[in-house]
Amino acid sequence: MTHFKKKLQIGNINIDFPFFLAPMAGVTDYAFRVIAKEFGAGIVYSEFVSAHGIIRKNEKTLKMIQFSDFERPIGIQIFGDSPDVMSRAARMVVDKFSPDILDINYGCPVPKVTKRGAGSAALRDLCLMDDITVAVVEAVPEVPVTVKMRSGWDANSIVIPEVGPRLEKIGVKAIALHPRTTKQSYNGEANWTLIKNLKESTTLPVIGNGDIKSPDDVMRMFDRTGCDGVMVGRGALGNPWFFKEANALYKGETPPGAPSILDRISYCRRHFDHMIAWHGEKIGTNLMRKHFGWYIRGFDGAAPLRKELVCSSNKEAMVTILNSIL
């Protein structure tokens, strides 16, 4: 069954394929975004970036926002607890970096973020959520503002579909929903019915997220929810070809087979090269360790190789191990 439709549009941004690389802290840096783009991700997002860090011009924070033209269209995601700080940060991001989309994080369930009133903590105070969203939308009228959110703080405070119309009225241009509560974190199942409910409540593009483990799950989410796009997070870890397979299914084509071990290692090497080029050797090798854990799996002998890579002390040792597999 083909799902090929007209291109998705968010504000003035046209998106060729409705598959989004989710913002993931410590993961979706330049190197991973470029690899995802190479495999057909329609849009990629930065790691979530602190609004307070932005307005303080923290060097590490600003580095997280940098991107290349190859990554466009790209969304920069910011988080914070203050309308004023979020407004100022949004303006600074647009002025300095010119992203295609500015995204507000109302979805992070991590306690160190929510304890400060940021991330999904806003779902406990929808008036604060409104104030932050209005401030950001008004600060950057020339850029589409989107929201990524959870379904509520806990099972007794679900905010779907209520938030759909109110965010649309404020001027948000799309909503990505991970239909778990903050208290669920990543446990239990994502309630896809809430994505359907949100879609029925608003004319905005709705992006579904949660429990997308295979390209077949993407098609099931489209069918069950009527969403306009699908955002992939953990399913793409060590698996950037996910987007190539999903694109084929979406167009009604036969998806390419799973990559061979040699192809998998080749993609891992390319990711590693991007990591070193962007972060430098010392930081790049340290950051790549977790990616080795995701790439080097699913074949005989993967476990000892993975352990050896993760424990290697430098780039040369890592490259030698990867070359031994080829």
pLDDT per residue as tens digits for the range 236-270: 999 999 999 999 999 999 988 888 889 999 999 99
**CATH (domain of 97):** 3.20.20.70
Instruction: Check whether residue 50 and residue 176 sit in a common domain.
Output: yes
Model pLDDT, residue 301:
85
Give the domain range for residue 292: 261-325
Is the torsion defined by CA of 118, 121, 123, 127 positive or negative?
Answer: negative
Q: What is the pTM of this model?
A: 0.94
Instruction: Check whether residue 155 and residue 268 sit in a common domain.
Output: no
State pLDDT tens for residues 307-326.
999 899 899 999 999 888 86
Helix, coil or strand: residue 176: strand
Nearest to 150 by CA among 116, 126, 172: 126
Those residues of the chain that have pLDDT short of 70 are 1-6, 326
User: Of 204, 219, 250, which marks where a domain is finished?
Assistant: 250
Tokens (6 digits) for 313: 């002390």
Q: Are strands 13-15 and 8-10 parallel, antiparallel or unpaired?
A: antiparallel
Say if 26 falls within a structural domain.
yes
Structural domain count, the chain: 2
Say if 61 falls within a structural domain.
yes
Model pLDDT, residue 5:
57
CB 53 within 8 Å of CB 61: yes
Asked about 108 being catalytic, the answer comes back as yes
Instruction: Check whether residue 38 and residue 90 sit in a common domain.
Output: yes
Model pLDDT, residue 7:
77
Say if 309 falls within a structural domain.
yes
Say if 128 falls within a structural domain.
yes
Which amino acid belongs to residue 113? V
Model pLDDT, residue 76:
98
User: Of 198, 221, 250, which marks where a domain is finished?
Assistant: 250
Tokens (6 digits) for 263: 């192809």
Query: Of residues 108, 127, 227, 268, which has the active-site annotation?
Result: 108
CB neighbours of residue 211 within 10 Å: 20
Quote the percentage of the chain above a pLDDT of 90: 89
Model pLDDT, residue 2:
46
